[in-house]
C-alpha cells in the first residue's frame, strides 16, 4: 500500500527471474498470482531475430538463463525510491 492505493507487481512475461515462466496476475474479487510455462528456446530465437540492439545478450541472460531472485532483489534495491 502507498497511502490508500494498493500497488501490485504482476511480475514479467518477457523478462522472468527465479522461475522461468511468464508471471502475471488475475484480477477479480481477489488477486491471484499466476504463471504459465512457455518455450524459452523459441522465445529466445524470436528475440534474436529482432532489430533490438542487445537482442543476443537479452536472449542469453534474461530468457535462456533467468536471473536468480537474489540477483533481481539486489538490482531492484538499487532503484528503490527513498
Write out pLDDT tens, residues 45-74: 999 999 999 999 989 988 888 778 888 888
pLDDT tens-digit map of 24-53:
889 888 889 888 898 999 999 999 999 999
81: region left, alpha or beta (phi > 0 left; psi from -120 to 50 alpha): beta
pLDDT tens-digit map of 4-31:
888 887 767 777 777 778 888 898 888 8
Q: E strand or H helix at 55, and its extent?
A: helix 55-58
Which residue matches cell numbers 474479487?
29
Q: Which three cell numbers stand for residue 34?
A: 499466476
Q: Which three cell numbers stand for residue 18?
A: 527465479
Q: E strand or H helix at 74, and its extent?
A: helix 69-78
pTM for the model stands at 0.65
Amino acid at each position: 500500500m502507498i497511502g490508500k492505493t494498493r500497488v501490485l507487481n504482476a511480475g514479467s512475461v518477457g523478462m522472468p527471474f527465479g522461475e522461468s515462466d511468464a508471471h502475471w496476475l488475475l484480477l477479480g474479487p481477489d488477486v491471484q498470482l499466476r504463471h504459465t510455462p512457455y518455450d524459452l528456446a523459441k522465445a529466445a530465437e524470436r528475440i534474436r531475430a529482432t532489430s533490438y540492439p542487445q537482442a543476443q545478450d537479452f536472449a542469453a541472460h534474461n530468457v535462456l538463463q533467468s536471473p536468480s531472485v537474489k540477483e533481481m532483489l539486489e538490482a531492484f534495491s538499487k532503484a528503490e525510491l527513498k
